[in-house]
C-alpha cells in the first residue's frame, strides 16, 4: 500500500529506524538546582484545547539556535530543558533540516516529557508533498510522532486556498492526526492576521503560532488572537522582539517584551536564544513573571512602538526564518 494512501506510526518507525530513540530516556544533565526543581520554578499554561501543560517560554530552534556550533547543540537543549523549558520548536526550513537533525540527537536519548513541534514547509502545499516532508522530518527527529505539526508560514488568500484545496496539505494534517503521527495540528503565520483569522474560523485546528509584539503589525493581536481564543486553540506567540528589531537604544528590553507577550491570552512564547546567557536571562524573566502587565503598561508599550508598525509589517510580509546553515 502506498504511503500516500495510508501512513502509520509503525511505518514511520520502520522507515526511520527510530524505535530505539522513541523509547529510550536518560536523566537530564543540566540545571544545578536539579530538573525537578527547575520545572517547578518555570510557570506553565495549558495549551488550549490540547490540555497539555507547557512552559510559558519555549525554545526556538531556528536561525538563532543554529548559531551554536553543531557539537554544542545537544548540551544547549539539555540546558534549556533542565531550566524548565518543555516545548521545542523546530522546522525543516530551519537550516534545510539541520535544526530537526540537532533536535533529533537530543530526542534519541530523551523523548519523554518534551513537547516537540515541527512544521510542513510552504513548498509543500499538497497532501502528498506534505506527507513526504513529514516522513523526512521524523527521520531527522528520530521519533515516530510529533506533538504538534504545523503548516508553516500561511501567507495570503491564495496560499490559504492551496492549503484548503481537495488535494491540499490540510488533508495530510487531518490524516496524520487521526493516525497519531501528529498528536495535534496547527498553522503558523507572520504575514496576515486577517487571513489567519479566516483559517482559524474555517478549520479544525488545535493550535496556531503567530507573530505578535507591541508594534501590533498585521493585526494578529486584533483579529487572529480573538478568533483563536473563541475556539480555545493553543496559541503560540513568536517574534517577541520582532527578530531583534524592537531592541536597542531607546527601546524596551527583552524582558519587557516577554512580559507583554505573557500578558496576552496565549500559552507560550517561542524565543530564539543564540547565547546561553540569553537563555538564562529569559528563563529568569519567566520564573519572575507573577502577573500580567496592567492595561496602562500594555498601552504604554504599544504607543512606544507605534512608529514601528509599518516597518514590522513590511519585514514580516517577506520574512522567512530559514536559519541558513553551512557545515
Active site residues: 94
Q: For residue 199, give the H/E element and its range.
A: helix 193-202
Read off the C-alpha cell for 111: 523523548
Cα–Cα distance between 240 and 260 in angstroms, integer? 9
The DSSP symbol for 323 reads -
Assign residue 19 a region (left: φ > 0; alpha: ψ between -120 and 50; beta: otherwise).
Answer: alpha
Cα–Cα distance between 163 and 166 in angstroms, integer? 9
The DSSP symbol for 156 reads S
- In angstroms, the Cα distances linking 47 to 108, 219, 237 are 25, 22, 12
The DSSP symbol for 295 reads H
Place of cell 502545499: 125
* Nearest one of 162, 189, 140, 179 to 17, comparing CA atoms: 140
Cα–Cα distance between 38 and 109 in angstroms, integer? 20
Dihedral of CA 61/63/65/69: which sign? positive
Beta-carbon contacts of residue 300 (< 8 Å; ≥ 6 apart): none
- Answer for the pair 258, 240: CB distance below 8 angstroms, yes or no: yes
| Chain centroid to CA 43 | 18
Amino acid at each position: 500500500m502506498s504511503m500516500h494512501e495510508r501512513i502509520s506510526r509503525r511505518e514511520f518507525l520502520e522507515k526511520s529506524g527510530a524505535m530505539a530513540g522513541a523509547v529510550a530516556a536518560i536523566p537530564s544533565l543540566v540545571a544545578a538546582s536539579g530538573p525537578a526543581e527547575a520545572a517547578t520554578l518555570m510557570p506553565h499554561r495549558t495549551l488550549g484545547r490540547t490540555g497539555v501543560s507547557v512552559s510559558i517560554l519555549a525554545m526556538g530552534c531556528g536561525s538563532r539556535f543554529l548559531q551554536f556550533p553543531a557539537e554544542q547543540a545537544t548540551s544547549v537543549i539539555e540546558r534549556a530543558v533542565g531550566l524548565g523549558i518543555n516545548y521545542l520548536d523546530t522546522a525543516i526550513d530551519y537550516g534545510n533540516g539541520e535544526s530537526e537533525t540537532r533536535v533529533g540527537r537530543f530526542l534519541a536519548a530523551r523523548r519523554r516529557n518534551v513537547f516537540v513541534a515541527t512544521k510542513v514547509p510552504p513548498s509543500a502545499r499538497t497532501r502528498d508533498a506534505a506527507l513526504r516532508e513529514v516522513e523526512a522530518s521524523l527521520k531527522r527527529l528520530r521519533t515516530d510522532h510529533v506533538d504538534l505539526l504545523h503548516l508553516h508560514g500561511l501567507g495570503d488568500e491564495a496560499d490559504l486556498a492551496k492549503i484548503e484545496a481537495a488535494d491540499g496539505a490540510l488533508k495530510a494534517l487531518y490524516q496524520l492526526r487521526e493516525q497519531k503521527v501528529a498528536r495535534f495540528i496547527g498553522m503558523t503565520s507572520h504575514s496576515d492576521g486577517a487571513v489567519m483569522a479566516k483559517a482559524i474560523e474555517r478549520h479544525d485546528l488545535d493550535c496556531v503560532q503567530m507573530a505578535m509584539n507591541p508594534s501590533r503589525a498585521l493585526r494578529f493581536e486584533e483579529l487572529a488572537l480573538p478568533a483563536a481564543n473563541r475556539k480555545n486553540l493553543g496559541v503560540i506567540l513568536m517574534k517577541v522582539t520582532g527578530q531583534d528589531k524592537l531592541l536597542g537604544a531607546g527601546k524596551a528590553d527583552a524582558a519587557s517584551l516577554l512580559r507583554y507577550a505573557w500578558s496576552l491570552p496565549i500559552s507560550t512564547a517561542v524565543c530564539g536564544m543564540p547565547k546561553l546567557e540569553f537563555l538564562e536571562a529569559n528563563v529568569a524573566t519567566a520564573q519572575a513573571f507573577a502577573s500580567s502587565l496592567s492595561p496602562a503598561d500594555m498601552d504604554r508599550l504599544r504607543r512606544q512602538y507605534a512608529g514601528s508598525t509599518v516597518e514590522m509589517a513590511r519585514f514580516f510580509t517577506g520574512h522567512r526564518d530559514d536559519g541558513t546553515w553551512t557545515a
